[in-house]
Structure formats: structure tokens, C-alpha cells
Structure 1
Amino acid sequence: MRTVQSWLRETAGGLPRRFWYLWAGTLINRLGSFVLVFLAIYLTQERDFSASQAGLVIGLWGVGGAVGTTVGGTLTDRWGRRPTLLTAHLGAATMMLALGLARPLWAVAVGALLLGMFAEAARPAFGAMIIDVVPEKDRLRAFSLNYWAINLGFACAAVLAGVAAQAGYLLLFVVDAATTLITAVVIVTRVGETRRGTSAGPRVAGTPAPTGALRTILGDRVFLGFVALNLFSALVFLQHISMLPIAMGDSGLSPATYGSVIALNGILIVVGQLFVPRLIRGRSRSHVLGLASLVMGVGFGLTAFADAAWFYGLTVLIWTLGEMLNSPSNATLIAELSPADLRGRYQGVFGLSWQIAGAGAPILGGLVREHLGNTTLWAACAAIGGVLAVAHLISGPVRERRAATLRHAWRPVVPVVAVQPPAPEAAEAAAIAPAAPLAAADSPSDTVGTANR
């Protein structure tokens, strides 16, 4: 019993109350995330659109998301977290209902475009809120718990959406809109505005200037390099919703079997994600990200040899382990690479990599599969995973030095208190004492321990 209580304290203890309201909002929103799960089926079976027309609609959702995450990031920093999130959620709920009622193809396409824009505009504000309210030493746990809520809600939504669809597809849009509104009310009333003024202290050389946001981001090669690595990782990861069902169909497996196999991803995350922070505590963050890329590459690479449901299930379990290692480390690193007054825009640019991958993964995967074959596609995923692992190991020290520089640059100025000078003997001893060596990590800040950070 004491062991369980100790584990609960280490996993969820000591986090701010406002974080738990954000966590609850995530869970509520994901529990109602029906539309995206069933959108392709709704468009082709209920609305009798062709596969190409359905692809166009879903692609426009992604285009809207790319615009939304960019605009949302800017508004998060300039306008504030709360008004940006409230406007985005109100717009998303409205467009959710409009999309459910739309009939002509052009109306459905415009609805999907605007829905993607509003829905994704909320993400930078939400991410910035977590960074604002959670102390740096607890962010790994906080992002892991939020990621757990996302997957728990999504796994339940897939089941609930199937039940709701039997009563009519319009119910999916109504419930999704309702949970979006509930989430907005919870966050706006219980969390409030979290943006704080930045420190007026001197800026450390080599850190981004607080003005000229676009110029700052475009000139931040360390951050953009990390975004590029995430883009390639996302191109591999998103094959599980584009090319994996096609590969399983070629093996004679039904769509229901694909649903059961892919559900293993959510189940493993829900069961195992709560233990991940303890597993990677004190580990070099670049090593964790490198291992995550390698494991994901192996998992997707083995898909080339899969020909039965159990084998496909095994590959899903393997790349899910890599996903579980990648997500919390990714989130904490982005938080530390973002200057305090540009957090929203940095979150937006990072989210843009996912939107680009969402549009590019099915296109690139389909082209490779069509012209070079199924085996080549999954072998390429394995190769990209290996290259990403090496890239994380090489770039890790530079990223950690930048993160440490930003922490010092934006740290509040501590007033100087007059103290008695040390005795001559003590001063002499301090002058000749050797400096303690650095720990054997990428840099002094390259560990991700949550208890001693």
C-alpha cells in the first residue's frame, strides 16, 4: 500500500491545481473527439462522396490546421492565452455543428477548412498555459499526465463514437461541439489568464531577442533543427493512419481487425505512460529521444514482414514504446527552447511540423508504396528512424546548452544582500579549491529528473 501511495505521489503529487483543470479539460475534450475518427467513413458512406473528394476535405482540414496553429501561436503571445483559447474553442464548436449540417461539397470543404483552423489555433495557447503554470522541475510529469489523458480520452472516444453513430452521424458533431464548449468553460473559469510579464533583466549573449518574433524564430537554428527532426519523425509515425490500414487490407485483414490492432496503441499508452517519467528520470534527454526514434523505426520497419493480425499487433506495440519515450521528452524540450515572451509562437511553429506531416505523410507514403512497393516503404521508415537517432545524439548537447542559456537569460533578478566578507583564510581556500567536474551528460541540463531539477 505504501508503495502504491509513493508511486502516486511521485507521478501526480505536488502539481498545481490549475494544471489539473487543464488536464480535466484535455480529457473532456478528447472524450468527445468523435468527428475526426469517423470523418472519412462519414463522408464516403453517409454522404456518398468519392474517396478523392473525402481526401480533399480531410486535406483542407490539415491546411486549416496549419494556418490555425500559426495564427494561434501569435495571438497567444500578443492577445493572451485565455482569449485565444476561448475564441478558438467557440469557433471550433460552431464550425463543428456547421460541418455536420453542410450538404454541398463546397460547404463541407469550407467547413472542414475553418474547423481545422479554429481547432488547431487552441493548441499553442493550451501548451503555453501548461508551461506557465507548472514549474520547470515538474513539467516532464505534467506533460506525461496530459499525454495520458489525451490517449485515454481518444481510446474511449473511438468506442463511444461507434455507439453514437448508430443513432445518427449528426449526434457525433453535436457531442463533439458540446465537449469543446465544456472544455472552454472549465479552462476560462478555473484557470484564467496565465501569461506573465517577462523579466527586465539583462539578456545573455546568444539568446533570441524578445522583439521581432518571426525574425527571432527564423534565426533560431537550434529550435528549427529540432522542429525539422520532429517533422521527419511525424512523417514516419503518421503512416499508421494512412498506409498501415492499406497494408493490412492487402494481407486480407478486415477494417475491424485494423481497429482492434490500432487500439493496442492507446491501451499500452494508458497503461504504461504513467510509469515513463520514472523510467527516464535522470537520463540524458538526447539519449532518450534517440532511443525513441530507433524503437519507432524498428517497429514500423517490421511491418514489411507482417502478414497476420498478431504480427501487426506486435509492430504496433513496438513503435508505441518509442512514441511513449518521445512525447514527454519532446514536450519539455520545446518548453525550454521557447523564450518566455514567445512561448505561444514557438508552440505554434512546432505544431506546424505536425500539420505539414499530416498532409505529407499519406501523399509520400502512397507514392513510395505505389512506385517502389510496400517493403520499400517500411524499410524507409526504419532507415529514417535510425538517422533520426544519430541526429538526436549529435544535436543534443547544442540544444541543452541553448535551453540552459534561456533559463539564465529570463531568470528574475535577485536583489543583492550585503553580507560580511569571508575571513582571509576562507577566501584563500576558496580561491585555490578546484572546480567540481561536470557530470557525464551532454550538458549540465541534459538530465530530465523531476525531483532534483
Structure 2
Amino acid sequence: MTGMRGFWGALPTEGRWLLSTVAIQTLGRGLTLPFTIIYLHEVRGFDLGLSGALMSLIAVVGLIVTGPGGTLIDRFGARAVLLTGLTAMIAGCTLLAFATHPAVAAVALVLIGVNFGVSWPGFNALIAAVVDGDLRLQYFGVNFALVNLGIGVGGIIGGFYIDVDSPETFTAIFLIDAISCLVPVALLLGPLRHVRTQAEPSDDAPTTGGYREILRRPAVVWVTLLTFIAMFIGYGQMEAGFPAYARQVAEVSTRVIGLSFAVNTAVIVLLQFTVLKYITGRRRTRVMWVMALVWACSWLILGAAGLLPDSLAAAIGVLAFMGVFAFGETLLQPTVPAVYNDLASDHNRGRYNAINSAAFQGGAIAGPIAAGLLLDQGLSAVYIGIMVVGCIGIGLLAIALERRIPASANGVREPSAEREPAPEPERADD
């Protein structure tokens, strides 16, 4: 399969529906994601500390509901759970648009957190039900690029449109975020209404496979630990550690930081499909190892930027960090979801994706806390050192995972395919 045309042609109709609307779905989220705390603090007048605590409700609630959400996906199907989550998201965004009291904002953010907790495992289970094999890995990669495109474009539009002196502009973007959720709702009620993610009741395969049983599998434990560390040193730093280091240590302007996020989005959108062509058919654990090396280089670049504060070199270093980091993302995001879904069966796919989501959210919660403590104490060198050591840890975990993961879940398919036809001529001679 070569090029976007070949990939698109190989997709089933349901996969095309899903993929063609991703950027539209995430555009609304991009409008509000970077500006919610500004809205709470500068528009609604909540204290900054309270605003931060309210924002944390999204991640905390998401983490709490992820586990039950995975079980419900396996029992009732991703479609039903996603519709419930999207309904909560629509209600939450609408309520937040008019929230003038912290209690109202808290309820709204809890509802948004419910959707965040079930949407990751739900949509991943839905994708896995539609595509498989190398096509699944490619799909996760292209999907990730489109998500970034939607959020990036939404953030740019929101930055030009909103005005802290005009509260109605913030009301408008939250309502647009709510309206954008109607796109996946329409898909789930229309073209995707027949897609099943749960196993048929008549299947001979066992209906067991709870979280305790899943976590007894060594491959699951190792890939989950790898995911947590990747999120801790990766996405967990994007909203706190990286901006704080760039401002306080490298002493670059907020304009440079904003531009760095645009560089991140551009690199992902431009490189993701090219990267997919090179990693398809290769051992996924080796791809993770390369990703760890790339991320280690990115953190060393940021550390070097901190040695030349308030300079053009520091600004270039910050931008380069985000570009190199984004390249690592194009290696990570197609790989890890594909591993989880190839380890899973139709009976427990929701729970496997919930474990993936929990590891992601756990790292995203712990990362900013650690960054705040280290940088607040002036331990910037220690901070960079921990990030680099974490990257080395990912590489070691990938090596350990390779010894424990089934070949099929590691993207190794050709050898088994070549061996399967061999016995047939022997039986024919008997």
C-alpha cells in the first residue's frame, strides 16, 4: 500500500466516514482547549488557583470513569457509551458557556471530563472494529494527524476571534464546541449504527477478561508502564513543564511559545503519513525505541536553550524542541494503540483501551505536578535530566516488551503468513 490514495482505497466505508470527519469534530475542541483557563480567570473572574483546580476536574473525572467506561463498552458496545459521553460533552460545553459561578463551572467541567474518560477507549474500540492489521496502525497515525490539524486550526481561529473584554466571544466558542459534537453523534446514529465492538453473545470465546485478568499478562503490564512514562515526560509536560521552562529558564516570549505549538502541529500533519510508510511492517517495539531516542534529543535541545536565556538561540532551541518532539509523536501515536488493540479480543477490547487511556491520563496528571515542583525550586537541570532518563527508560521498556509481546501484536505478520500454507501440499500427498 503506497500513498494516501492506496490507504483510502483500502478503508471500508465505515472507516472513511470516521476519518473524513475527525478534523471537523476536533475543530471545536481546538477553539476552547487553550483558552478555558483564561475564560474562567479573566472573563468570569475566578481566582487563578480556583480556575486551575476547576480545570483539573476534567482529567480527574476522566481518569475515574475510564475503568467503568471500558467495561460498559465491552458489555453494551462503544456506540452506546460514546453517545452517552457526547451527550455529556454537549451539556457540559453549553453549561460552561454561561457559567458565572464556580459551582456551575464545576458541574460543566465534570460533564466534559465524563466524555474525556470514555471517548478515548470508545473511539479506539470503534476504529479497531472497522480496520485491522497494518491498516489499523496506519489509521491510528492518520487519525492522530487529523486530530492535531483540527485542534491546531481551532486554536488559531480562537486566538484571533476571542476577546477577554467581550464575554460573548467565549460563549460563542463553547457553543461551537458543543455543536461540533453533533458530527460524531450523527455518524453513530447514521452510517455507523451497525458497527459492533462487543462480541456476539453466541461466540464460543469466553466472556471473561476483566481488568485483573488482563493485567496478569506481562505484555500488558510492560506496555502500560511504557505508556505512563511516555505521557509523564511527553504530553504531561506540554501544558505546564515545557511552557514554564521556556519562559522562566530559556526566557523566550509568549509569542515564541505559541509559535512552537504551531510548529508541533505542522510537523505532525506534514510528516505523519510519510512516517507511516516507513514504520508499517516493522516491529512496533523497535519504533518505540527510536521514538525514545528522538524524544531524548528533543529534551537535550530544550536544555541547551536554557543555557542561552533571552537570546535568538534560545528561541530557535524552543522551536526546534517542539519540531523534534512532534516527530517522536508521529512514531508513538500509531504504535501504542495498535499494540493494545492487537493484544485484545472483541470480548475485552473496551477494557484494553481503557487501560491505555488510564495510563495516558495518569501520566498527564503526574507530569505537570512533578514539573511544577522541580521548576519552582529552581532545579531546571534536574528537570531536563529526569526527562532524558525517562526517555532512556522508555527504550529499555521497549526492549523488555519485545521479549514478552506476541509477534502479531508487535506488527510481525509476514513470517506466520508464509508458514501457514506450507502444510497443505503435505496433506494433499497423503
**Normalising by the residue count of structure 1, what TM-score does the alignment of the two structures yield?**
0.83
DSSP 3-state at the match of 2:11: coil
DSSP 3-state at the match of 1:219: coil
Alignment of 1:50 with 2:47, yes or no, is yes
Alignment of 1:31 with 2:27, yes or no, is yes
Unaligned runs of 5+ in 1: 204-208, 408-417, 428-453
| Superposed counterparts of 1:37-436, under 5 Å | 37-166=34-163, 168-192=169-193, 193-195=195-197, 197=199, 210-237=207-234, 238-250=236-248, 251-306=250-305, 307=309, 308-371=314-377, 373-401=379-407, 403=409, 422-423=428-429
The Cα of 1:342 is off from its aligned counterpart by 0.6
The amino acid across from 1:80 in the alignment is: G
Q: How far apart, in 2, do the equivalents of 1:230 and 1:48 lie? A: 37
Q: How far apart, in 1, do the equivalents of 2:40 and 2:428 lie? A: 77
Q: How far apart, in 1, do the equivalents of 2:241 and 2:179 lie? A: 32
Kept in 1: contact 2:32–2:155 (CA 8 A): no
Q: How far apart, in 2, do the equivalents of 1:347 and 1:133 lie? A: 15
- The farther-off stretch of 395-404 and 151-160 is 395-404
DSSP 3-state at the match of 1:197: coil
Instruction: Give the CA RMSD over aligned residues.
Output: 2.5
Q: Residue 9 of structure 1 aligns with which residue?
A: 5
- The farther-off stretch of 307-316 and 227-236 is 307-316
The amino acid across from 1:285 in the alignment is: R
Kept in 1: contact 2:25–2:180 (CA 8 A): yes
What whole-Å deviation, never above 9, does each CA across 1:283-315 have from its counterpart, x for those lacking one?
Answer: 221111111012112212321221421111111
The amino acid across from 1:180 in the alignment is: C
Q: How far apart, in 2, do the equivalents of 1:201 and 1:169 lie? A: 50
Q: How far apart, in 2, do the equivalents of 1:136 and 1:100 lie? A: 42
Kept in 2: contact 1:25–1:186 (CA 8 A): no
The Cα of 1:138 is off from its aligned counterpart by 1.2
The amino acid across from 1:276 in the alignment is: V
DSSP 3-state at the match of 2:245: helix
Q: How far apart, in 2, do the equivalents of 1:283 and 1:264 lie? A: 28
The amino acid across from 1:12 in the alignment is: W
What whole-Å deviation, never above 9, does each CA across 1:241-284 have from its counterpart, x for those lacking one?
Answer: 21211122223322222111121110000111111111113322
The Cα of 1:6 is off from its aligned counterpart by 5.3
- The farther-off stretch of 109-118 and 322-331 is 109-118
Q: How far apart, in 1, do the equivalents of 2:292 and 2:426 lie? A: 53
The Cα of 1:125 is off from its aligned counterpart by 1.6
**Normalising by the residue count of structure 2, what TM-score does the alignment of the two structures yield?**
0.88
Q: How far apart, in 1, do the equivalents of 2:426 and 2:399 lie? A: 46
DSSP 3-state at the match of 1:170: helix
Q: How far apart, in 2, do the equivalents of 1:36 and 1:339 lie? A: 34
Kept in 1: contact 2:134–2:280 (CA 8 A): no
Q: How far apart, in 2, do the equivalents of 1:246 and 1:277 lie? A: 32
Count the aligned residue pairs: 404
Q: 1:191 to 1:223 in 2, by over 3 A?
A: same
What whole-Å deviation, never above 9, does each CA across 1:337-396 have from its counterpart, x for those lacking one?
Answer: 112211011111110112112221111111122236112101210111012112201221
Percent identity of equivalent pairs: 24
Q: How far apart, in 2, do the equivalents of 1:55 and 1:201 lie? A: 48
DSSP 3-state at the match of 2:252: coil
DSSP 3-state at the match of 2:158: helix
The Cα of 1:330 is off from its aligned counterpart by 1.1
Q: 1:90 to 1:386 in 2, by over 3 A?
A: same
DSSP 3-state at the match of 1:95: helix
Kept in 2: contact 1:73–1:346 (CA 8 A): yes
Q: How far apart, in 2, do the equivalents of 1:71 and 1:199 lie? A: 20
What whole-Å deviation, never above 9, does each CA across 1:224-246 have from its counterpart, x for those lacking one?
Answer: 22111110110101212212111
The Cα of 1:30 is off from its aligned counterpart by 0.7
Kept in 2: contact 1:44–1:51 (CA 8 A): yes
What whole-Å deviation, never above 9, does each CA across 1:11-67 have from its counterpart, x for those lacking one?
Answer: 433111101111133222111112222112112221222221121011111111112
